[in-house]
Amino acid sequence: MPLKSPSKELKPQAVSDLAKNPAQSASSARAGELTQLGTMGKAFTILEILCSQPEPLTMSEIVARTGLTKPTAHRIATMLAEMGFIERDNLKRGYIEGPRLIKLSLDILTAAAPRNMRHAILNSVSEEIGETCNFGVLSGSEVTYVDRVEAKWPLGLRFEAGTQVPAHCTATGKLLLGLLPEREGRQTLASMPLTRHTNRTIIDLEKLRAAIKQSAEAQMGIDDQEFIDGVVCVAVPVIADNGQVAGGLAVSAPEARVTMNQLRQFVPHMRRAAVQLGKTYRFKEDG
């Protein structure tokens, strides 16, 4: 008689038990996932579940909700308590948020307030102009979109915050390159790849230097279908109160809907918004 391989199928009784207790099934699945996490992942799991409950959680409830074994849950809870991230409530009914976790939460909210304000400014520009608005910073030879508000049009660009685009053929990129200290700008430009993206992309170094210088003098960058065919863009600098360049505010649109000349007419509105953005930045002085 041939040997049978061990069956991975659940016996009827086991299936019935899981159907009767879906919470246990979910807990078991979560426990399997947690085996792939280190101590930090398990600690965050406890914190996440603890913060989602209005009442203190006992150790038994933490074990049931996280899927951790009791020794592991107890060890990590003890560590979190020693660090001040959780603590026992006054009546000793279970664990609640500790003072250090509460302070961390308040710090996050405080730090997020300017970012929320910046997004609101971008959103107001996008709604006023009716086109996509973004805020970007220079990262070497690329521009990183820190925040972005897409226009509510079926025909539009779809880039997420965090997306990086080449600096040499974008409005924000050329503008910020021109606002770098002379030596840093020269070194950055000399080291970046001048890849052609459309037939309008400037890949001649001397012509690009001239375009970058013009952007700096005008305090306005333009991208006339240099990065994407059929897309135009203008950018203005965002300057903090101490004079430091924080990034660039840009508006882009399909050329079929808005011409470059029409886009330029929005620049005064963009500059006013850039001033508001600049006031949300507080840079520490060197030294």
pLDDT tens by residue, 27-82: 455 555 555 668 888 898 899 888 888 888 999 999 998 888 899 999 999 999 99
What is the average pLDDT score of the chain?
82
pLDDT in tens, 158-217: 666 678 899 999 999 999 999 999 889 888 888 899 999 999 999 999 999 999 999 999
pLDDT in tens, 205-256: 999 999 999 999 999 999 999 999 999 999 999 999 888 999 999 999 999 8
Q: Two tokens at 43?
A: 């600690």
**221 half-sphere exposure, CB direction, 13 A CA radius:** 32
Provide the pLDDT for residue 53.
Answer: 85
Sequence-distant contacts of 72-80: CB under 8 A, at least 24 apart: 72/42, 73/46, 76/39, 76/42, 76/43, 76/46, 77/46, 79/39, 79/43, 80/43, 80/46, 80/47
How far is residue 236's CA from residue 59's CA, in Å, rounded to a whole number?
55
Domain ranges across the chain: 13-97, 111-278
Provide the pLDDT for residue 3.
Answer: 37
The answer to whether 98 touches 82, Cβ cutoff 8 Å, is no
With residue 72 as reference, give the H or E element that holds it: helix 70-83
Residue 169, judged by CB atoms within 10 A of its CB (0-12, 13-18, 19+), counts as buried
How many C-beta atoms surround the C-beta of residue 55 within 10 A?
10
How far is residue 141's CA from residue 124's CA, in Å, rounded to a whole number?
29
- CATH pick for 13-97 out of 3.90.1150.200, 1.10.3730.10, 3.40.50.300, 1.10.10.10: 1.10.10.10
The answer to whether 43 touches 76, Cβ cutoff 8 Å, is yes
pLDDT exceeds cutoff 90 at 91? no
CATH architecture of 111-278: 2-Layer Sandwich (3.30)
The answer to whether 96 touches 50, Cβ cutoff 8 Å, is yes
Q: Two tokens at 76?
A: 């990590």
